[in-house]
Amino acid sequence: MLVDNHVIETSSSGTRLRAAVKRYRPENGATCSEAGYILVFAHGIGFHKEHWEVTIQRLFVLALSSRIRILEAWAIDAQTHGASAAMNEETIEAPEFNYLIQDYAEACANVYNSLLRPTMREDIHKLVLIGHSAGASAAALSTAFCDHIPFHAMILVEPTVWPADITNVHSPMFILASKTIPRRRDFWPSKDEARAHLKKRAPWSLWDNRILDIYIGYGTVPHPTKKGVSLACTPRHEAMPFITGDSVVPLTEIDKTHKIIPIHLVYGERNDLFTREKQDTLQRGRKFASVTRIPGAGHLVVQEAPDKVGDVIFNILRDNAQRSRTVPLYTAVPRA
């Protein structure tokens, strides 16, 4: 893959923050003067944009042997995670700082507003926003920061969105996670020791090895005062969504958006962090384009089964292309 780096700014929290963004393009791929998909990815809490790389690579490989054209993919670090955390360190480590889902939602929107809109042709470029866990919540809320809905579709993977009446109904695993994450280990003498330590423990022991390598490679950084590494996303920031209760906030946007563009839901078949009953409340009174459950995976399906996630996303893109009444996504735009 060809990879280049970008930075966008947000200010929805009242403070200017920056978000690191990577653009991925297939080698020898089509140019953006041709019709095709542009994908934007948002990660879950505690992770970072590179967690999507295995899935993105899978999508590029699938596209090579099909008539579906994927022009490029963008992935965004939340402002308290990954490379973004280093850029925003002074602001986000202030005791009074509180991170909200609106911050990441604005970042999702600003990939379009700041980076894509100046050159994107909405008649031939089909923008699809894909989010996992809290990243799915941010994706769903992102339309609040756009003057129109620029997305052709949304794919929400294990979205942490539900009505207020179910917000405080938690699974035993969620209760355990909310207690242990703020106190989790945050220092290792080396990246190798961090990997060995995590590999023996859940949930990391369930992950695809490629994702674990990415997590260690990008998710741990040199410790500022000791010889060793610590987490790029501190336990304090990883725990914040368990405290703020932002799960209701995106519903207003979903209630509008699902009537205009297809929204697809993707879950792991194993209910661990959230119960099936809690997940199903999102469908009450709303019509989604599809609901898919991936066998053998739980809430961290992107980490456990990244290729299967890629297969599901690709099938959605293919089906949308076949139903599209606009320029076919597998046909080159005629040149003048």
pLDDT digits 0-9 by tens, 145-177: 999 999 999 999 999 999 988 888 889 998 988
Query: What confidence category does residue 336 fall into, taking pLDDT thresholds of 50, 70 and 90?
Result: very low
CA distance 194 to 214: 12
Mean pLDDT, residues 250-255 taken together: 96
CATH of domain 2-167+246-323: 3.40.50.1820
pLDDT for the residue 28: 79
Alpha-carbon Rg of the chain, whole angstroms? Answer: 19
Q: What is the pLDDT of residue 193?
A: 96
Give the Cβ contact number of residue 7 at 10 Å: 14
pLDDT at 329: 55
Roughly what angle, to the nearest 10 degrees, separates helices 53-64 and 306-323? 50
Q: Residue 324 above 90 pLDDT? A: no
The answer to whether 27 and 214 have CB atoms below 8 angstroms apart is no
Q: Parse the chain into domains and list their residue ranges.
A: 2-167+246-323
DSSP letter (8 states) at residue 74: E
d(CA 327, CA 304): 35
> What's the pLDDT at 51?
98
C-alpha 63/C-alpha 57 separation (Å) is 10
Determine contact, residues 114/145, Cβ cutoff 8 Å: no
- Alpha helices for the chain (secondary structure H): 53-64, 82-87, 89-92, 101-110, 134-141, 172-180, 191-199, 209-219, 235-244, 251-257, 276-280, 301-304, 306-323
What is the pTM assigned to this prediction? Answer: 0.94
Counting other chains too, the contacts that 321-324 makes at CB distance below 8 Å and 24 or more residues apart are 321/68, 324/126
Going by pLDDT thresholds of 50, 70 and 90, the confidence category of residue 244 is low
